[in-house]
A and B are shown apart, each in its own frame.
Chain A
């Protein structure tokens, strides 16, 4: 194995070990939270709502909850690990090594995307306890999950470099990401919205992610999945390029 691959894999491995060895902080919370979502929104309220788009309410909200967990965890992983490393200066062990900036970005984003994918699978696992989980378009499902976890891993890198206190991480996750996801048609269909709010919702990028994953799972979408996938992939490339430039310039890392 060449030195570049060893460097990249070492950092990826370090990142994976960090979240795998702390399941109470990383994997247990989405399991419990989603079990509560399924119980309250799916079982208790869902039975009164009936079907949406030809599937049970539980099956309708499942893709949205998968997206919520995937992007929250991939974003949180990258932003936390970089910010915490900066806060305690131990990221300097990476920065003072001969790793290329490209490898550093790729490693942080890959490990964070992986955590987002694992969280998605756990949420699907919890969903299976409550309902059957269809996979209508597996290629789209996998593609959307990979793209959105990579995108949010990349955004997490920016967040981790920008943050100057732990409060910043909370602000980004709780006050920006979560509201966008909740208004991203996770719990409702865009059809039920008045035309004005429907158009406003289309400005929310989460709508495209939720609809994409929903198309992959239950085969129903209100937005063309190919367009969504293309836009999200383009956005991901832009975000990763920004990550690279920030690392190269030492933004938040070097004086």
Chain B
């Protein structure tokens, strides 16, 4: 039987009063492009750091390709390439040497390490900067470099913690292309992001985390189907008050400047019944538009509490 790329069970980590991971259960299959969403403080980075050995769990188990991250830490870490959100790069050396060192730490001999370092820099498009130190790179190049460092050991599991934070649209698309190519070649990707669009476009499955727990795991489409869609209908003659609609799944009906806005679960399934109900009441529907719930709205619904949401949609 094929071991999952990641299997976490009953994972717990506490920092003082804060329960960063609270009995987390999560499985990521080999070859998946898996997104990890959650508000700040949800436990995403703690979980990632547990996998790579920068956080020691209090309880539970975490395995990478069947290797326990603490008991078999060498086997587990050998399969992981990680691009953290913060720039944690050796500033003493030109970037190509930093990559050679990283490859060497993974047991790759010098000649091959040099070759891999060159290839990794070419892959992310900054080969011409190979003799430059990290501090002298632009912000976008720094993001590219951190990805190159994660790639240089040719990992089976690529962990990307906010890989496109603060980068421009063009670079974001470039990085998506590189990551997608890796995934197409069989590399399992674990991605955390604040850009919901990123998860929606890239991920096979998404886990929403909150308060150190997994709230839900599903495909982006499944998650969006669970959200409330808005059906906007234009009527030949708009009534003065919103009509009462006796249709299952409707949560709200209101008159807006655009027309009659009906909020319902599964908009495309509910729309025909709404039209029939309106026509039965003597209205003539002249146009209909279904606005699907975005993953972002579903995300906000699932993690709703007293938090600030500003950063989620930033």
> What total of chain A residues lie within 8 Å of the partner, measured CB to CB?
31
Q: Which residue of B lies closest to A93 (CB)?
A: B102
Contact of B74 among A17, A93, A100, A255 (CB under 8 A): A100
Q: In the docked arrangement, what's the CA distance between A71 and B73, Å?
A: 34
Contact with B along A161-198 (1 / 0, CB 8 A): 00000000000000000000000000000000000000
Does residue A205 face the partner (Cβ distance < 8 Å to B)? no
Within 8 A of A (CB), among B64-79: 73-75, 77-78
Q: Which residue of A lies closest to B101 (CB)?
A: A14
Write out the residue numbers on chain A whose beta carbons fall within 8 Å of the beta carbon of B55.
254-255
B88 touches A94 (CB 8 A): no
Within 8 A of B (CB), among A70-102: 85, 88-90, 92-100
Does residue A3 face the partner (Cβ distance < 8 Å to B)? yes
A255 touches B15 (CB 8 A): yes
B105 touches A94 (CB 8 A): yes
Interface residues on B, range: 35 or more
Q: In the docked arrangement, what's the CA distance between A100 and B54, Å?
A: 14
B88 touches A92 (CB 8 A): yes
Contact of B105 among A85, A88, A97, A255 (CB under 8 A): A97
A254 touches B54 (CB 8 A): yes
Q: Which residue of A lies closest to B80 (CB)?
A: A96
Instruction: Say yes or no: A11-B105 contact (C-beta < 8 A), given A92-B84, A98-B74, A255-B49.
Output: yes
Within 8 A of B (CB), among A112-142: none
Rounded to whole Å, the gap between the CB of A250 and the closest CB of chain B is 6
Rounded to whole Å, the gap between the CB of B1 and the closest CB of chain A is 24
B82 touches A255 (CB 8 A): no
B56 touches A90 (CB 8 A): no
Extra pairs beyond A88-B88, A89-B86, A98-B74 (18, CB < 8 Å)? A6-B104, A10-B101, A10-B105, A10-B110, A14-B104, A89-B88, A92-B54, A93-B101, A96-B52, A96-B54, A97-B105, A97-B153, A98-B106, A98-B107, A250-B53, A253-B54, A254-B53, A255-B15
Interface of A with B (CB < 8 Å)?
A: 1-4, 6-7, 9-11, 13-14, 17-18, 21, 85, 88-90, 92-100, 250, 253-255
A-B pairs, top 3 by smallest CB distance, nearest first, are: A10-B104, A3-B107, A89-B88
Interface of B with A (CB < 8 Å)?
A: 15, 49, 52-56, 73-75, 77-78, 80, 82, 84, 86, 88-93, 97-98, 101-102, 104-110, 113, 149, 153
